[in-house]
Chains A and B, each alone.
Chain A
Amino acid sequence: MFDFLEGYDVLGAFWMTVKLTVLSAVGSLIWGTLLAGMRVSPVPLMRGFGTAYVNIVRNIPLTVIIVFTSLGLADIFGVTMGAADNFDVQGFRLAVLGFTAYTAAFVCEAIRSGINTVPLGQAEAARAIGLNFSQTLRLIVLPQAFRAVINPLANVLIALTKNTTVAAAIGVAEAAALMKTMIENEAQTLAIGAVFAFGFVVLTLPTGLFLGWLAKRLAVKR
């Protein structure tokens, strides 16, 4: 029944999906946290930049961003992410760059909502004992904010996992690209589609369950 799977590296393709997801997740968590810091900072210029970035990037379709990294950045501006001689590596790095830029906007908003759950008194108390803005954010506010937004961040992570399929548009050999290849060769749209849908459920369902459990354990009870 599953003989159409023979000769295809399905696991390899999903491994590529995992790599894209993990690297982009780490990147967007860092960049998103920085953006959230900017959006609540006392410096108007930084606040303005953070707001503009989030509102612009999250409203551009992801496909446009990913295709732009390849057609615009690489082909026209010559940004090759240190892999000018290898299109496969180049495509992968550009895709991670695109996913990071896009997902960070959503991570930023999740974290900012977490910051809003931290009572104002916490920040005032931190100021009172002489901490400056970045110390207040780093030591007092963000640790509490993160514990409050594990569930929203899990949603962002699951969305990111599925979004990685867009990388097929610039030829990164992840799951959706292999699915296209297989459908082209085997003419079994439904069965192949089901296999890949199942693969994504296997990837995302445990993520959701684990992070949901973690969110319950770590939530700050107020």
Chain B
Amino acid sequence: MKTNELIGHVDSDCFYVSAERVRHEHLRHIPVGVLGNQGACVIAKSYELKARGVKTGMPIWDAAPLCPDAVFVKRDFRWYEVLSRKLLGVIRSVSPQVEYYSIDEMFFDASALREPAESLQQRILQEVGIPVSIGISRSRTLAKLMSDVRKPFGCCTITDKEEIENFIHLQPVEELCGIGYRSTRKLHQHGIRTCWQFTQANRHFIRKLLTIKGEALWWELQGEAVIPILTERKKHKAIARGGSIGRPSTDRERLWAWTVRDAERLIEELDFHRVLVGELVMKLSYKTAGDWSRSVRFASPTGDFDKLLEAAHHLHLVACLELQGQAITHIDLVAERLCERGAEQRSLFEADEGNASIAQLKRATNEKLGRFALRSAATLPLTDIYNDEAFNYDVCDIRDKTCF
């Protein structure tokens, strides 16, 4: 990308809440919280709820007393995806290059934008119904910083080098996308607290301190676009499915049921991306704030559900032995060492995948009748979860995003 081009960043204001307000007008101007997968935690909050001290991730039993008149809404990722893609469509209509960064954020080439950011903002509000904040500048890092600063429902276009310098003078370094807690601490130790100070530091020093990613930010803050707009997501290095299992559990059957559910979701994703898995990792978190992780390497990459399940079962048994009595809170299955289907090195000592026809039947049935219509009987202990259709679609099921 040439450095004289402009990059825009569109960031939806409290996206999930705004999405709910599109279809339920009565939720406007009131404190609203969207609850996550288990109905326990606030995953999105309106500005009215935020003003009452409710934070993202807060359990409902803490949030409701803080704001007794708040209205809580059950999440609906299918609906959020509908609006997200609508938003993507509007941005694609004004820009030749758009990066679908996350469900509520997009980067776009703003060089040929024929209207001011405010007009685009109004158009999005009219066509999608979602309020957004827009930042436009010489790099994506600057654009994102600008849209963040102007939230909610603000626009910021700064392209002049001197004005950019004035702008970053006031911005704390921890506001940068990619600068987390540890990086912030490192920078603070060296007296670097603002984005401007970051740009004044020696580039090689920043690279040594924060690797090549830190150096990229250094260039970006100078107004040099070194991180391109990705119009297609990069190939997956790993694919994971899992997360919270609701109430912490020591029940082996229930834990195995969750593992099978995750395996079924994982195989769907492997099928969609036409990749095989070389190594399966199981990650567990347990109540005493510990983490556990083990993996199984396959003799040759596989996309066979039974092999995947066999490996997951082995890991499940090892976990039961090693974590006896620990209440598990999260289970994640991660497919690593991915390779494209047809490009794998086949093993001489492995039989062909025998149950492919069953897997195909399962896939065809579920495509026709709905996700999980046909599923492993091992998941029966989770009938309560499967009875709730909203459980069947998560934010990670929204494809093509570049963020995760």
A and B part of one assembly: no
Interface residues of B (CB under 8 A from A): none
